[in-house]
Amino acid sequence: MTLANLALALFVLAYVLFFALPRIRSWVAAGVALLLLMTGCLTPGQAFWAINWNVMGIFVGTLVLAEAFIRSKAPAYLAEIIVNKAPNTAWAMLFICMLTSFLSIFIENVATVLIVAPIALSLAKKLNVVPIQMMIGIAICSNLQGTATLIGDPPSMLLGGYAKMNFLDFFFYQGKPSIFFAVEIGAVVSTIFLYFVFRHLTEKQSLVAVELVQSWGPTLLLVALIIALALSSFVDPGFGFAAGILCIVFGLIALAWIKLVHKGSIRETVKGLDWDTTAFLMGIFIIVYGFTEAGWTDALASHLAEVIGDNVFLGYSILVLLAVIVSAFVDNVPFLAAMLPVATKIAQEIGIAPQLFLFGLLIGASLGGNVTPIGASANIVATGLVRKEGHEVTLPQWLKISIPFTVAAVLPAYLFIWFIWR
């Protein structure tokens, strides 16, 4: 077997196992990456530089800052205020979903669900209603807005690293409205749909205030990080190092806050971070690099380009639809990592700039994860929390909300990107 065929076999093996064994995906990624080294498909130097260390710095740094933000109690405090100010329960739940959306712009989706879920569950108990619809709404809203900025979720970080897009590029890129505005248009339409899901909850209920903000320090740190990332765009326009370093520095400051103000254990905090996803991301970078270096990305792109021909709209539509369908069942991180170079090569083959295909892929892959309960980590966490409350989320219950929500979010964003970037 040639090294190119071996790299392909290992790539396919990894993706099959990601689907079949999602709970040990990081071990699968690490194992396949190691096999690429042991078989000579990649050298240690190639494997090391295949990892986008800037993206890894952004991910780990924001994980620590998010942990401090949660411990400060500021998000839960804000959620209680929102519920108490709402005219009825329907609006309270809608406002909680909107808060979830806002927080997930800056905080990893699973952390966002863990922040907001206790408030929703408390409200459900007071009203004596089943919390299934509420928790589904929270999960899918977290996945939606995580796409909007560079630091919202790993897929956005992957695109930023691959396309050399800095923080501001997610708002305006090459003088045109970028991904943020596409996501927000989809968010407006899908939020209207969510109101109709909750509209039967007409009771007015106030929560007894139990959350006291321990410190506004982490909130100020989060705001400062956003400003610093925006300014770093001018220092490091090629997205080479500045964003990752900034996030690590702010993460270290947040860790100091946890130790000195929150009186928490640095060791336990570091131990409790999402190292599983961290290892998974590193392994994915190496696996996809091996696939690309073996020439398979070019081969796949050439085949798709032949199918598409010179019909750009068809190519764009196929990529978005493929991303939505695949990401409904498979983790969107490995899918997006594999498809970004394919999309770029297809764009080159048919003679257009790659942004149209790249942005469409991100929207489809990120929002497609909402379709099924296993499509995104936030979905799995949300259904687990509901199960602890004694309620089982069935697939029909999930699909009844997720499919129209996904269509309402994807379609406007898909059209926006087409008309701006075609």
Q: Which domain holds residue 208?
A: 3-421
Model confidence at 1, pLDDT cuts 50, 70, 90, reads low
Per residue in 168-184, pLDDT (tens digit) is 889 999 889 999 999 99
The predicted structure's pLDDT at residue 360: 92
**pLDDT of amino acid 233:** 67
The more confidently predicted of residues 303 and 40 is: 40
Contact residues for 199 (Cβ-Cβ < 8 A; gap 6+): 90
- What percent of the chain has pLDDT above 90? 13
What pLDDT is recorded for position 206? Answer: 62
Tens digit of each residue's pLDDT (9 = 90 or more) over 83-134: 777 777 788 888 888 888 888 887 777 777 777 777 777 777 766 777 788 8
pLDDT for residue 184: 92
**Are the beta carbons of 385 and 125 closer than 8 angstroms?**
no
Length of the chain: 422
Angle, vertex CA 370, rays to CA 374 and CA 168, nearest 5: 125
pTM of the complete model: 0.79
- Amino acid 150: pLDDT: 83
276-280, 329-333, 361-365 — which is least confidently predicted? 329-333
pLDDT at 238: 62
User: Predicted confidence band at 154 (pLDDT cuts at 50, 70, 90)?
Assistant: confident
Which pLDDT does position 209 carry in this prediction? 60
More confident residue, 209 or 72: 72
- The residues that bridge with 173 in the sheet, in sequence order, are 176
Highest mean pLDDT among 122-131, 236-245, 324-333: 324-333
pLDDT category at 207 given cuts 50, 70, 90 is low
Sorting pLDDT into bands at 50, 70 and 90, what band is 205? Answer: low
**Distances, alpha carbon 336 to alpha carbons 113, 123, 161, 289, 407, in Å:** 23, 37, 12, 13, 20
Most confident listed range (73-77, 226-230, 317-321, 392-396)? 317-321
Task: Establish how many alpha carbons lie within 13 A of residue 46's alpha carbon, considering only the half-sphere containing its beta carbon.
Answer: 18
412 has pLDDT over 90 = yes
pLDDT at 375: 73
In the chain, how many domains are there? 1
Q: Is the pLDDT of residue 27 over 80?
A: yes
Average pLDDT over residues 5-34: 85
The mean-pLDDT minimum among 120-124, 135-139, 186-190, 378-382 falls in: 120-124
Q: Is the pLDDT of residue 215 over 60?
A: yes
Residue 413 scores a pLDDT above 90? yes
pLDDT at residue 200, as a whole number = 78
Print the SS3 string covering the chain. Answer: CCHHHHHHHHHHHHHHHHHHCHHHHHHHHHHHHHHHHHCCCCCHHHHHHHCCHHHHHHHHHHHHHHHHHHHCCHHHHHHHHHHHHCCCHHHHHHHHHHHHHHHHCCCCHHHHHHHHHHHHHHHHHHHCCCCHHHHHHHHHHHHHHCCCCCCCCHHHHHHHHHHCCCCHHHCEECCEECHHHHHHHHHHHHHHHHHHHHCCCCCCCCCCCCCCCCCCHHHHHHHHHHHHHHHHHHHCCCCCCHHHHHHHHHHHHHHHHHHHCCCCCHHHHHHCCCHHHHHHHHHHHHHHHHHHHCCHHHHHHHHHHHHHCCCHHHHHHHHHHHHHHHHCCCCHHHHHHHHHHHHHHHHHHHCCCCHHHHHHHHHHHHHHCCCCCCCCHHHHHHHHHHHHCCCCCCHHHHHHHHHHHHHHHHHHHHHHHHHHHC
State mean pLDDT over 362-375: 83
pLDDT of residue 239: 58
Per-residue confidence (pLDDT) for residue 24, from 0 to 100: 83
pLDDT of residue 210: 59
Mean pLDDT for all residues in the chain: 82
Q: Is the dihedral of CA 400, 194, 152, 384 positive or negative?
A: negative
Q: How confident is the model at residue 35 (pLDDT cuts 50, 70, 90)?
A: very high
